[in-house]
Structure 1
């Protein structure tokens, strides 16, 4: 790769990707009504702006493009956050305006260059831009990335981001980076009287989608454990003895059942109430064994959810446009 040339106006003419970590409320502000704000940001900056999927308290916003487009996108985000702060202050008695704060997600291998020897680089950034910059001491969970927090006026933040981009281009990441993926907000699920409820705080909220799944599972032929002649009635209020059911899943499909960092299999465990164990890959075998343990109702629901997951994935393969949402 050729060395980066600084253009006369101080911008860098090179493509870069910057990742931001935002709370749900901040993401909502960036997306805007019917996606109008993010659409405008994409059009006016020329940068690609992608927002991670999922009902997580935190989301990753990825900004990609030539650095001048990234700076424009950052400016629009910083000014939007400032506008939100001003609007929230109009109905509060606070007199001093809090600074705008952005959190970047940076590979840990580049953080040393951002800090500099004895903290010289980060000190220089703070002094020359007026922004506060802090690099987290610990890596974000299950990743090799750290959060870099920048706060100050929108103008200070933009100058600071420009300097961070220069450092990131001059010191590319070393080795493989495991990107940080926010975890979904897990809400406990309970089944009662044929209804599914999610627990939020002190309340049980009826959940129509899970109820539908639960009722569909109830309509499936209940699984009869070996040696049991009378079919087990899949009633949830009575608790029939736990039984076990085994499935074989092709190796190349096991990933879609497990999901990223086990998210899908954990969802299926939580929704069905069944214990699900996936055997390690056996040498020379093209399949993996899945053991489902629980009441017949739990097992039916787990099987239903696994099949539903296969259907979702098959639909995505037939419609590549929807792949990004999985």
Structure 2
């Protein structure tokens, strides 16, 4: 993340293109929708931008630290709104520098979110398109290697002067209009701020300040169940700890299919994520090889119902 320029710095301005033609005074103009992700509640600023740019600007509800800002309108209105955002960020950077010892001004940084199926066109053959964009606009452009959590979109980071960013966004719009997304896009949605959970001895804890506080939730129960593989009931305990489930139910198998383009985020680099899921759930997990002509991969999970439900939970969370 770029150095925080006040409340307004966009963590992940997001970007989805829905071209539709509208007639405007200057002949045929294209209407686009751009999704931006931003921090903070600058309602007044947005109101001013709506009035001055002529674009429709909506802000998502929710208690997430990041909010999705949707900008819709003719291309010229969108570029106006974008210019206002870029200059606003620059102003925030200058203001935040007035009380810091740093002397060199950091660039304005925006992160767009682009359907993975369009990233190839943005990069171009052997990186030719992205190189051309960098050279002709003077902005830095980078396409993330991994998809954003639970989506089929990638972050595209643009940084530079406001002028360079505006030129760069114009070129990205052209590319995205020329090569629309293929197949269905699972849009990135920001998650509500949550505290990390740590497992220890079958109990989950959340971190608050310097202390770990027991965290009673569904996942803990699943985790405890998955780890509770004793074939007998301890003396004096006539009912299982979790009603309706024996202490050690027989192993069973569950199958699910995952789209090919999401399998990477489940396996992780060199299998790190899938091994983590195996370890946490106590289940055996097999991922079938890609079948020719199929857009899905089969995953087989074997273990107790508790192992399986925890493995499923963790796979879905990925």
Normalising by structure 1, what TM-score? 0.54
CA distance in 2, matches of 1:91, 1:45: 31
Partner SS, residue 7 of structure 1:
strand
Residue 223 of structure 1 contacts residue 300 of structure 1 at CA under 8 Å; is this kept in 2? Answer: no
C-alpha separation between the residues in 1 aligned to 2:295 and 2:144?
Answer: 43
More helix by share: 1
> Structure 1: where are the runs of 5+ without partners?
24-31, 309-326
- The answer to whether the 8 A contact 1:107-1:173 is kept is yes
Q: Please state how far the C-alpha of 1:48 moved relative to its aligned partner.
A: 1.7
Structure 1 residues 159 and 293: CA distance shift in structure 2, 3 A: closer
In structure 2, distance between residues paired with 1:55 and 1:255: 29
**Mean Cα deviation higher: 96-105 or 40-49:** 40-49
Q: CA RMSD in A?
A: 8.6
1:179-212 deviation line (CA, Å, top 9, x unaligned): 0111111248999999999964337999999999
In 2, distance between residues paired with 1:93 and 1:184? 33
Classify the secondary structure of the residue corresponding to 1:161: helix
> Cα distance 1:275–1:117, how it changes in 2: closer, same or farther (>3 A)?
closer
How far did residue 58 of structure 1 move? 2.9
Q: What is the CA-CA distance between 1:60 and the residue it aligns to? A: 2.3
Give yes or no for contact 1:105–1:147 (8 Å, CA) kept in 2.
yes
Deviation at 1:263, TM superposition (A): 25
The answer to whether residue 69 in structure 2 is matched with residue 61 in structure 1 is yes
TM-score, normalised with respect to structure 2:
0.56
Cα deviations by residue, 1:60-106 (Å, 9 ceiling, x for unpaired): 22211111111011101000000000001101111110000000011
Structure 2: tracts of 5 or more residues without a match: 1-16
Q: 1:196 to 1:64 in 2, by over 3 A?
A: same
Separation in 1 of the partners of 2:259 and 2:147?
35
2:276 to 267, 271, 283: 267
Instruction: Report the Cα distance in structure 2 between the residues aligned to 1:200 and 1:96, rounded to whole angstroms.
Output: 36
* Superposed displacement of residue 125, structure 1: 0.6
Asked if the contact 1:223–1:296 (Cα under 8 Å) also holds between the matched residues in 2, the reply is: no
**CA deviation string 1:96-133 (max 9, x = no partner):** 10000000011111111111111111111100100000
**Which stretch shifts more, 81-90 or 220-229?**
220-229
Q: How many equivalent residue pairs?
A: 300
CA distance in 1, matches of 2:144, 2:169: 17
Write the distance in 1 (CA, Å) between the matches of 2:72 and 2:116.
Answer: 19
Q: Residues 185, 206 of structure 1: CA spacing in aligned structure 2 closer, same or farther, 3 A cutoff?
A: same
Q: Residues 181, 235 of structure 1: CA spacing in aligned structure 2 closer, same or farther, 3 A cutoff? A: same
Superposed CA deviations along residues 236-276 of structure 1, whole A, max 9, x for unmatched, are 99999999999999999999999999999999999999999
**Quick one: distance in 2 between partners of 1:112 and 1:305?**
30
Is residue 5–residue 12 contact of structure 1 (8 Å, CA) maintained in 2?
Answer: yes
State the Cα distance separating 1:156 from its structure 2 match: 0.3
Of 19, 37, 49, 1:41 maps to 49
Structure 1 range deviating more: 180-189 or 160-169? 180-189
